[in-house]
Structure 1
Amino acid sequence: MGKFEKDAKALIELVGGKENIAAVTHCATRMRFVLNDPKKAKESAIEELDTVRGIFTNAGQFQVIIGNEVPSFYQEFVQLADIEGGSKENVKAVAKQNQNLLQRAVTVLAEIFTPLLPAIIVGGLILGFRNVLEAVPMGWLGGKTITESSVFWNGVNSFLWLPGEAIFHFLPVGITWSITRKMRTTEILGIVLGITLVSPQLLNAYAVNSTTAAEIAKSWTWDFGFFTMEKIGYQAQVIPAMLAGFLLVYLERFFRKHIPEAVSMIFVPFFSLIPTILAAHLILGPIGWHIGSAISTVVNAGLTSSVNWLFGAVFGALYAPLVITGLHHTTLAIDSQLIADFKSTNLWPMICLSNIAQGAAVLAIVFAHRGNEKEEQVSIPSVISAWLGVTEPAMFGINLKYMYPFVAAMIGSGLAGMFVTLFGVRALSIGVGGLPGILAIMPKYYLIFFIGMLIAIVVPFLLTLVFRRIGLFNKIDRVGEAISPIDPTLVESATTTDSANLVNEEIYAPLNGKLFPLSHAVDPVFSQGTMGQGMVIEPSEGAVYAPMSGTISLLFPSKHAVGLIDEQGVELLIHVGMDTVQLNGEHFTAFVKQGDSVTRGQKLLAFDIAAIQKAGYPTQTPVIITNSGDYQVDPLMETGEVTIKQAIMRVQSRE
């Protein structure tokens, strides 16, 4: 009998049998299934298997987290099931067949906007700061604004408009680039197309409503003799840019198939770009503008109507579930359109409050479970993350595990959303969530939004404690019963050791780059601590070095992940990038093989950061102690620039 035969057999049955498996593969940490009928999977029973660390569903894939030994588990699984494993791309393709049209559309929208988020967030911070400088009268300045009272800050405010305008007014450039990047066509053509939508030769979109039709016909029109075309810009417009971007992609794909390779460099870009620009200004732009305006008008009307309180309550309560499904990415497009049409948005304030509410619910768990050091390694960073606008660690790591804090946060968010909507609170920009989100709010609504923030903190906090005490929405964390841990593999009692065998060692950074807490990881499998405790590094150089001396226990064929185990039994995983298993080893070079003995500082891997990012994959690298349930793992620094000569974690035996 193989090591995993028992659990592999059980997993075959629990996913609905081999006939329910449309495709299966694995990556460095998990089995990836595409199931014909996902409802047949018995999730609770799967989580009880000894080798399973957790499960979740993403992009049509049913993923079962195994850990470092997943290659061996996978081999036994496919042999016992008598099926053939698939490649990562095949499984991904099959998974899309399990998604309905709405899910596919949301996935595409998410993949377009995700690369733009860093710019949108920093743009929101910039505009929020400018908001404070130029629009908030200060009592200590005699009722004047900071820009009115200071030449220096007036200059700073004026200068900051440069990046602010570049990010939001020229958003179509980012959208058309992101579409070509996602669809693997020529990215520079996407950039050029975006520029043609916001060129200074065009009438700025913000000036269209104040310009008469006669003036547009006279000064802002191309005359081709037998027809004319308006020179209208699409600054900050989302849908026109998306329509144009996809037309460019499909034209380029068409011409690449039909134009000989010898002349494709010349004619494919020409025949793809020029017709797209023409169609964008003649057909797609006007249509997209009207669609976007219609959507923003409906949303704005609902949130300013006599029943706006109902809209606010419903959206405020349901935004967190939207995050789970991925549908929340659609709100970025709507928010952008609202700002383009109305110079502000009444949707973003509720999103900020939902972030705050999720963090407040986790804070209540921290209070209720105080003393649970293992859980606090996830819960405390999750509070901070949520209050800074990133709720996934809080929701997936704590609130959905227990469920009752998630419901409490939804209720608090709904009440806060209803309150700020009743008073018509609006934001001037997007991108800044959580507590800093107040910077984006129109100054005249600061006090109202602050009260809304208090509601979003106090109500979820109190409801979480009440639900726990009375057992409402709560079956696993009753008062007086043992606390259910986040993950059984992370809270097993450590075995008693002799003092001579006590572990007390420092783990060094395996890469040069910027260090972040584990909750910063974009993949919930890592950010929730499911794989173990550790840190995340955003590499500045494409090289991985041994952070401790030991043996190479795992080297994945795709060379994107390497595992080590030292003489004292500490197991460590270095996972370069997110979903980089899809690259099948491209852009990676290994300098060791499985079973090799290595010393700290020895070079293990090399990888091409620029090529990996160009292929669409983040290079963020989790560094995980995978058997952290046996040890006390403490960070030696929280964040900042690190080199391979610096220790980042301490691993100690439990007392």
Structure 2
Amino acid sequence: MGKYQQDAKLLLEYVGGKENIVAVSHCVTRMRFVLNDPAKADVAKIETLKSAKGTFTQAGQFQVIIGNTVQEFYNDFTAVSGLEGVSKEAVKSAAKQNQTTAQRIMSALAEIFAPLIPAIITGGLILGFRNCIDSLYLFENGTKTLCDISQFWAGIDSFLWLIGEAVFHMLPVGICWSVTKKMGTTQILGIVLGLTLVSGQLLNAYSVATTAAADIPYWDFGFFKVNMIGYQAQVIPAILAAFTLVYLEKFFRKICPAVVSMIFVPFCSLLLSVIAAHFVLGPIGWKIGSVISSVVYAGISGSFRVVFGAIFGFVYAPLVITGLHHMSNAIDMQLIADFGGTMLWPMIALSNIAQGSAVLGVIYLQRKNAPAQEVNIPACISCYLGVTEPAIFGVNLKLNFPFLCGMIGSAVAGAFCVATSTTANAIGVGGLPGILSIQPQYMLTFAISMVIAIVIPFVLTVIMGKKKQVS
């Protein structure tokens, strides 16, 4: 008999029985269910199980927090239920039946950017390091950088740009690949499409603003001309082009006879999508991206930027609950492309810290409650490292007031962060490690913002918890 067999039997009953389960899988800490009727899941009973640390529903999936022993629990659950587990991708696919159109769009954006995050984090750290050695004037009475006084570090600085350029300038290649991977079409075609958006034959996107209209190269087709402009670091043009390629490939695969599909499907799909990308979608996507980033940048840098920062800091955690926070990835990348950095991502990292600090307050309040600490401590650690769901759903929302305390702390930290123009090189490094993605000249102000995001939620949570006699 497995260690969790009894709890597994009860969980099966409480989620509505075998017949209510469409698919089941698990991640690092959670059981993930897609249910025919989510209303049949008895949350109150599930949370009485000793093995269950909390529940929440997100992206059409009913998730039960188990903790680090989730693999053992999952094995016992599949044994007692007779169900075969499926991959997380299969669960995500099945979960679409429970998602609204907006949730599906947000989920798609999240799945596009998720495979790119490791590269973006790496690129951000490299840019941050390069800024430290080539932009901080720390030597010879503040007149020279490390690169100015050392040929070795100047060489390192130049060499590291090889990676930085590959990550950020060539981002459309990664986006086009990721879209085709997610949609199950030919990935190499996505890569080739992305390469056509950043080809060296085109005028670099970063040079467009400083190039006179008469000097912009173009393709001359006799009766019309098309500007030869690259889309380095552009997000929306790449997404539009990639989805065009995906649907063209699916269309041609349906209508082409199998005997010639190997020739005509890739040829027609790629050719038409490249034409659409450079003739129509690229210019439109560029304009849309520029408008979005300009509006957000105006909010962050304008006269009411402190208000903007406070509002964004306050509402970001609730956006996580709805899944709408995934939209911020695309906006962040567009801000980086247009303005050389993003002031949005630092506030996201601060929201992570604030929610984790609210959990830290709960840890203090429940310091004598050993069963509660089994949930609280791992949730706090993961939140400080940028993964907020266990903290939000497993602790803060269950007690309600810590969630609000975290939002208030995030709002104050966000207002200070924006007031000081704190800017990140890249996205992806969340929570306390988020300081590694901050541009060097703003690391001190971000550190102060982190202190605010730690102290205010912790103090408010302890004060309110004592009034409510939480222990």
TM class, shorter-length? 0.7 to 0.9
Range that drifts further, 374-383 or 347-356? 374-383
Range that drifts further, 250-259 or 138-147? 138-147
**Whose helix fraction is larger, Structure 1's or Structure 2's?**
2
Give a deviation string over 1:146-172, Cα, whole Å, max 9, x none.
222222222111111111110111100
Question: Shift of the alpha carbon at 1:97?
Answer: 3.1
Task: Verify the 8 A CA contact 1:31 1:70 in the aligned structure 2.
Answer: no
Question: Shift of the alpha carbon at 1:365?
Answer: 3.6
2:123 matched residue in structure 1:
123
2:204 matched residue in structure 1:
204
2:291 matched residue in structure 1:
294
1:34 matched residue in structure 2:
35
Q: Which amino acid aligns with 1:354?
A: S
**2:347 matches 1:350:** yes
1:571 matched residue in structure 2:
none
> Could you tell me which of 281, 284, 294 is aligned with 2:281?
284
Rate the CA distance shift 1:433–1:67 in 2: closer, same or farther, 3 A: closer
1:223-622 matches, cutoff 5 A: 223-370=220-367, 379-380=376-377, 382-471=379-468, 478-479=469-470, 483=471
Taking the aligned partners of 1:60 and 1:278, their CA distance within structure 2 comes to: 37
Name the SS of the counterpart of 1:202 in structure 2: coil
Taking the aligned partners of 1:54 and 1:349, their CA distance within structure 2 comes to: 29
Taking the aligned partners of 1:137 and 1:354, their CA distance within structure 2 comes to: 32
Task: Verify the 8 A CA contact 2:313 2:410 in the aligned structure 1.
Answer: yes
Give a deviation string over 1:482-503, Cα, whole Å, max 9, x none.
x4xxxxxxxxxxxxxxxxxxxx
**2:166 matches 1:169:** no
Question: Shift of the alpha carbon at 1:402?
Answer: 3.9
Name the SS of the counterpart of 1:328 in structure 2: helix
Taking the aligned partners of 1:398 and 1:140, their CA distance within structure 2 comes to: 52
Give a deviation string over 1:167-198, Cα, whole Å, max 9, x none.
11110000000001011111111000000000
Question: Shift of the alpha carbon at 1:364?
Answer: 3.2
**Whose strand fraction is larger, Structure 1's or Structure 2's?**
1
What is the count of residue pairs matched by the alignment?
A: 456
> Could you tell me which of 57, 76, 84 is aligned with 1:69?
76
Q: Which amino acid aligns with 2:134?
A: E
Taking the aligned partners of 1:429 and 1:52, their CA distance within structure 2 comes to: 36
Task: Verify the 8 A CA contact 2:365 2:466 in the aligned structure 1.
Answer: no
Task: Verify the 8 A CA contact 2:23 2:94 in the aligned structure 1.
Answer: no
Q: Which amino acid aligns with 1:155?
A: G
User: Larger relative CO (CA 8 A, sep 6+): 1 or 2?
Assistant: 2
Q: Which amino acid aligns with 2:194?
A: G
2:55 matched residue in structure 1:
55
Gapped runs of 5+ residues in structure 2?
1-5, 67-72
Rate the CA distance shift 1:451–1:40 in 2: closer, same or farther, 3 A: same
Give a deviation string over 1:510-535, Cα, whole Å, max 9, x none.
xxxxxxxxxxxxxxxxxxxxxxxxxx
Rate the CA distance shift 1:391–1:157 in 2: closer, same or farther, 3 A: farther
Task: Verify the 8 A CA contact 1:7 1:51 in the aligned structure 2.
Answer: no
Taking the aligned partners of 2:56 and 2:384, their CA distance within structure 1 comes to: 25
1:24 matched residue in structure 2:
22
Taking the aligned partners of 1:92 and 1:346, their CA distance within structure 2 comes to: 31
Q: TM-score, normalised by structure 2?
A: 0.86
Task: Verify the 8 A CA contact 2:313 2:407 in the aligned structure 1.
Answer: yes
1:195 matched residue in structure 2:
195
Task: Verify the 8 A CA contact 2:111 2:182 in the aligned structure 1.
Answer: yes
Task: Verify the 8 A CA contact 1:22 1:94 in the aligned structure 2.
Answer: no
Rate the CA distance shift 1:69–1:331 in 2: closer, same or farther, 3 A: same
Taking the aligned partners of 2:430 and 2:207, their CA distance within structure 1 comes to: 29
Question: Shift of the alpha carbon at 1:43?
Answer: 2.0
2:153 matched residue in structure 1:
153
Gapped runs of 5+ residues in structure 1?
79-84, 472-477, 484-655
Give a deviation string over 1:620-645, Cα, whole Å, max 9, x none.
xxxxxxxxxxxxxxxxxxxxxxxxxx
Q: TM-score, normalised by structure 1?
A: 0.63
Taking the aligned partners of 2:8 and 2:305, their CA distance within structure 1 comes to: 58
Give a deviation string over 1:28-62, Cα, whole Å, max 9, x none.
795834345x4565422343368977533233133
Name the SS of the counterpart of 1:448 in structure 2: helix
Taking the aligned partners of 1:171 and 1:8, their CA distance within structure 2 comes to: 43
2:69 matched residue in structure 1:
none
Taking the aligned partners of 2:220 and 2:129, their CA distance within structure 1 comes to: 43
Which protein is bigger by CA-based radius of gyration?
1
Rate the CA distance shift 1:410–1:72 in 2: closer, same or farther, 3 A: same
Taking the aligned partners of 2:392 and 2:370, their CA distance within structure 1 comes to: 19
Question: Shift of the alpha carbon at 1:370?
Answer: 4.2
Question: Shift of the alpha carbon at 1:430?
Answer: 2.6
1:637 matched residue in structure 2:
none
Give a deviation string over 1:427-448, Cα, whole Å, max 9, x none.
3333333334334434443443
Task: Verify the 8 A CA contact 1:379 1:398 in the aligned structure 2.
Answer: yes
> Could you tell me which of 11, 14, 21 is aligned with 1:11?
14
Rate the CA distance shift 1:367–1:144 in 2: closer, same or farther, 3 A: farther
2:184 matched residue in structure 1:
184
Rate the CA distance shift 1:51–1:236 in 2: closer, same or farther, 3 A: closer
